[in-house]
Each structure stands twice: as structure tokens, then as C-alpha cells.
Amino acid sequence: MWGWIVINKHQDEVFVESTNVEELRARRVWKFLLVTWATWIVNGIFVWSRGYQMAATVCLIDSLVHLVIVVSLWNHANYRRILNLNLFVSAIGLFCVSISDPATAVTMLYFPVSIVVASQVVGVRAAFYWLVASVIAFLLFYTTAYGLHGAFYTPRFDELVLVVGVAVCTFFCCQQGEQYYQLRIRRLITLSQDLEKKSEMLRHLATTDALTGLINRFQFQETLRDRVARACTESERMALFLLDMDGFKEINDTLGHPVGDKTLVEIASRLSTAFGARSDVARLGGDEFCIIYPQLRDRDQAKSIAAEICEVLRRRYVLEEAEFPLGVSVGYALCPDHTETDRELLAFADTAMFCAKEHRLGQACYEAEMTKRLVEYRKVQEHLSHALEQNEFFLAYQPQADVHTEEVTGVEALLRWRHHGEVIPPDRFIRLLEESRQIIPVGKWLVHEACRQLAEWTRAGYDIKISINVSVVQFKDEDFCKNVADAVEEWSIEPGKLDLEVTEGLLIDDIEQAVTRLNTIKEMGISISIDDFGTGYSSFAYLRKLPIDRLKIDRAFIKDIPKADDGQIASTVIVLAKTLGLKVLAEGVETEEQLAFLK
């Protein structure tokens, strides 16, 4: 009866679109007209065959009138008027058939049908009108057929009351049915509203990052696809900025994840405030964010936006629990300048961001050369993963000489990698080993290989020490001390001939754990040196706590002696070491002038 109902939400109001309902009711009216027309023809044929000529004539005339209504009003928009006209013509026909012969009087009982039809097709108000019409029709029929006195005389009066009662009962049944359907419709509308709200909530959850409120990776991909398509079709320029926070991992590790989460929220707030009104800001996951910037003027504007991003995110973070700075690396690519596909645009921006992060540029715009370097980087990474099992690593030994006697007293074991006959520089693979944590098994191999070589030299009669550089990742490994002890025991070397070099930055990360682990090493009889001293964060107080034997001056403070003032730093380190009772090793001494100064 109510047809289809469509719910739309606009400015917190719900509107029921009645277009489909009206169309459905109109179709039902026209079907009813056709059915009524056919019914009059069938009834006419029937009463004619039974010999009721007057009734047959009425049926024929009524069917012709219905046919005229159907043909002439076929495109008429007011179907309610058409229905009422149809019912009116049918009512006259029924009345005439009923009074044409006493045997056809029962035809009057069809009058309550008009109440049902009006209720179902148009509504309960129209049904009430046809209730009144039916009562009037019954009164006219009884007074016409039986006279005024006969109509209100028993038993005709009883018949009149009964048929009127049937009409009234039919109306109230239709009214109750109408109320029932209205109640169901209201419930359906309420259900539709609830489902719409839940659908909106689910859509929000599916497209929004729960922590920051920015659009998430899923919605970002949809938005990026639309923006790229629009930029290509409308000849616009757009930019995709990919951001990665520098130093965020340390925030989580040192201050805890709750502070890390608040930091991410603060980052999102800064980006939304600065760029939300003119771009789409998204969080892809972790500490990685992106900005889709449409309607870009030129590359210079993209460069200035990248600089603005860096400025916004590098401002000091002041939270309830802590205050700290953060860095950011921004890579960006342009559409359609660099590509016309969303996938490539994201890949190019990621490549530019990787380049900015690797070279500490702050920001970088994509260039084709970056992809070539990245492909090479990935190849090195892939080959490196198989280097240990394919025995491609080897050790080179750099001599360490006494400054007074100039005799070699020790060597430093340096890790080298030979792949397909090419010796690859350590600056191209050491960091990769640390990032992938492959440095742990490789470092274990390095310690064992250095101890093997030391045992071989000792058997050959050489009295020499070996220094081994220890990676931060390697030093923090739970099995590090055990691996060193196993190597010393396996090759039966004197622990005092083994020296482990650790960086000062490594020690500051967790001073208590570092001291514990260094004491374990010292108890084995192995000496400890601080590598690259002067480039990190060591203080005199820290040095007093650490069980170390030697300071190693970084070559950065040696290479320009005596031309630069670096001699002052080297002198200070030497004096400090003597004060603490430590030995000193200077790295990178290559000229007579440098040697003379150190002497």
C-alpha cells in the first residue's frame, strides 16, 4: 500500500520521498480502472444471458463510460480524481442495476467495495467519503425500491441497518489497517534512520584513523585515486607529500607508547590546522603521514609547502609528560609532471621521502635518478641477506702502532663484503645489516673469525691484540656476552688480547644496562675501548662509571692537524684520558706532522 520509501538525511532532517509511492499508486489506479472495465463487460454478458435486459444495458453503458475515462485520461496526472470518477461511475451503475430488477438487488452489496478500494489506493480519508456515499446509496435504494414507509419498516429496516453496518464495519477495518500500516511505516522510517546512523558510523570507522581522526590508509587511497583522475582530466597540477618523523621510535622506547600516541595526535593536529582547509591530510600508519595537495600552481609552491611542513612539525613538542624536539623527512611527487597514476605517484613520493631521510635533507622532490638508486639499494639489500651463508664476508686488519716505538701492537678487524668479485665499501652495507638485524649473526661470525685469526697469529709467534667494532644492535642482543665467551673458549685465546670497541652513544641509551654488560665483559679479561670519542654525548661523569680501558679519538679530529684547531680537541682528549688512567688510540694518522703532534 505504501510502496517503496527512500530516506535521505539533510541538515538533521529526514524527508520521505514520495515519488515512488505516488507512481505505484498511480499504476494501481490504472490497473483498477482496467479491471473495473472488464468486470462491467463480464457482468453485462452474464445478466444479458440470464434475461435481465435492463441490467445488461446499464452494464454496457457503464463499461463504455469506463473505456472513455481510460482513453481520454490516460496521461492525466491527478490519479485521485480519476479514481473518484471511476468509483462514481461504478456507483451509479451499481445503483441502476440494483433497481432494474428485484433479482439484481443484491448488487448493492458491492458498494462497500468502494470503501476498501479508496482506502487501499488513496487513503483512509477517501474511504470515509465513500462510506458516506455508500450509506446514502443504500438509503436511496431502499426508499426507491420499497418506498419511504417500506424502507423503514421491519424487516426491510433491519436489512438497511445490516448493510449500513457492513459498510461502517468495512470502513473501520480499513481505518485500523491504515493505522497499522502507518505504525509499521514509522517503525521502518525509524529503523532506516538508525541503520543510516550506524552506516555513517561504520563509514567513519572504516575511513578514519582511530587515534588521530585523520583519514586512514583506505580512504587515502580512494581520495588519491580521485584527485589524480581529476588532475589528469582537468589539466590541473597536484602534489603528494609523504612525511616520516625522525626520532619518533626513540620517543616510544624512552617515554613509552602513551606519550608516543599523544605525540601522533599533536602531529595530526598541527597538520590539520596548517593544511586541512586546503588539502587532504591522512595517517598511513605508525609515524607516517601524507598530504594530498590539489590545485598546485607550480614546483616552487610545492617546495615552499614542503618547507612549511618541516617548519610546522619541527617546533618543539610540549606534552604533559615530556618536552622534546622531533625531526621530519618529507618527500613529494607531482601529478602529472612525474606520473599520471596514483600508484606511481605514491611510490615516487615514498622514494623521495626515503632519499630525504637517508641523506638527512629534510625535504626532497622526486627525480628519476632516485628510483635507480633505490633499485640498486634494494638489490644490495637482497644480496646482503645471502652474503653470510655464501661466505662473502671477510676481515681486513688495520694496524695499530705505538706512538713512541712505532711498532705494531695490535690490529682492528674491519668487516668487508666481496660480492661477484667486487669489494663493496662498508658504508653501503653496514647500516643495512643493522636495520635488518642481520648484524647479530654477522657480528657473531666476525667475533669468531677474529678469534680464529688471533689464535693462528699467536701460534705463529706474534704477540698482538685484535680490536673488534661492536654494533649497537649487536651489543643490545641478549646473547652477545655469551657469543664472545664461546668464541674465546673455542679458539683458546687469551682474553686480554681481545679488545671490544663500543660507541659512546650506545652507552648513553641505557647507562645501567651498558655498565652491567661491560662489567660482564671485563670479568672475562677482555679490554674495552670507546670508539669515535668526541662525536657523541659522553661526559666526565659517565666516563667515571664505565669500566673502560681506552679512548679512541675519531679521525675527524686528526685529519686536519696541524692546519686546523682540531689539535686542541685531540690534546684535551689525551689529557682527559691520562687523568682517568686510560690509554688513547688516535684513528686516521697518515702524515708525519700528525704523528709528531701526537707524540
* 392-440 pLDDT tens trace: 999 999 999 888 888 899 999 999 999 888 898 888 888 888 888 889 9
* CA angle centred on 77, ends 76 and 82, rounded to 5°: 65
Whose CA is closest to 448, among 423, 427, 464, 466?
Answer: 466
Cα 76 to Cα 84: distance, rounded to the nearest angstrom: 13
Cell output for 584:
688513547
Q: Is residue 379 classed exposed, middle or buried when 0-12, 13-18 and 19+ CB atoms within 10 A define those classes?
A: exposed
Coil/strand/helix, residue 7: strand
**Within the chain, which residues score under 70 in pLDDT?**
1-25, 74-77, 79, 120-123, 150-151, 178-180, 182, 505-510, 534-542, 564-566
∠ CA 335-341-345 to the nearest 5 degrees? Answer: 60
- Which own/partner contact pairs does 147-153 have at CB distance under 8 Å and 24+ positions apart? none
Cα 21 to the center of its chain, rounded Å: 40
How many Å apart are CA 243 and CA 363, to the nearest integer? Answer: 9
Q: Exposed/middle/buried for 575, CB within 10 Å: 0-12, 13-18, 19+?
A: exposed
Enumerate residues 6+ apart whose C-beta is below 8 A from 181.
1, 2
Name the grid cell of 285.
Answer: 600508519
**Which pLDDT score is estimated for 15?**
38
Specify the pLDDT at position 110. 73
Residue 419, strand partner residues: 422
Q: In sequence order, what E strands does 405-556 have?
A: 408-419, 422-424, 465-469, 498-503, 527-533, 550-553
The residues that bridge with 417 in the sheet, in sequence order, are: 393, 424
Cell (9 digits) for 588 = 686516521
Nearest to residue 427, comparing CAs of 438, 415, 419? 415
SS (H, E, C) 327-355: EEEEEEEEECCCCCCHHHHHHHHHHHHHH
| Strand boundaries in 215-258, DSSP class E | 238-246
Rg (Cα) of the chain, in Å, rounded? Answer: 47
User: What are the strands, taking DSSP E only, across 478-559?
Assistant: 498-503, 527-533, 550-553
- Please report, as a single letter, which amino acid is at residue 392: E
DSSP secondary structure letter of residue 208: B
> What pairing do the DSSP bridges indicate for beta strands 288-293 and 323-324?
unpaired
Contacts of 440 (CB under 8 A, 6+ apart): 473, 474, 477
> Which run of H or of E encompasses 213?
none
Is 586 strand, coil or helix?
Answer: strand
Q: Counting every residue, how long is the chain? A: 599
Residue whose entry in the numeric block shows the C-alpha cell 433497481: 99
Torsions phi, psi of 253, nearest 5? -70, -35
SS3 98: helix
pTM above 0.75, yes or no: no
Q: CA 87 from chain center: how many Å? A: 61
Closest by CA to 419, choosing from 392, 382, 396, is 392
Q: Distance between alpha carbon 298 and the CA centroid of its chain, in Å?
A: 29
- What does the block give as the cell for 378? 634494494
pLDDT of residue 319: 86
Q: Which ranges of 359-429 does DSSP label H, i.e. alpha helix?
A: 368-385
Q: What is the pLDDT of residue 13?
A: 39
Residues ≥6 apart with Cβ < 8 Å to 383:
419
3-state SS of 110-142 is HHHHHHHHHHHHCCHHHHHHHHHHHHHHHHHHH
pLDDT for the residue 509: 61
Query: SS in 3 state form for 55-92?
Result: HHHHHHHHHHHHHHHHHHCCCCCCHHHHHHHHHHHHHH
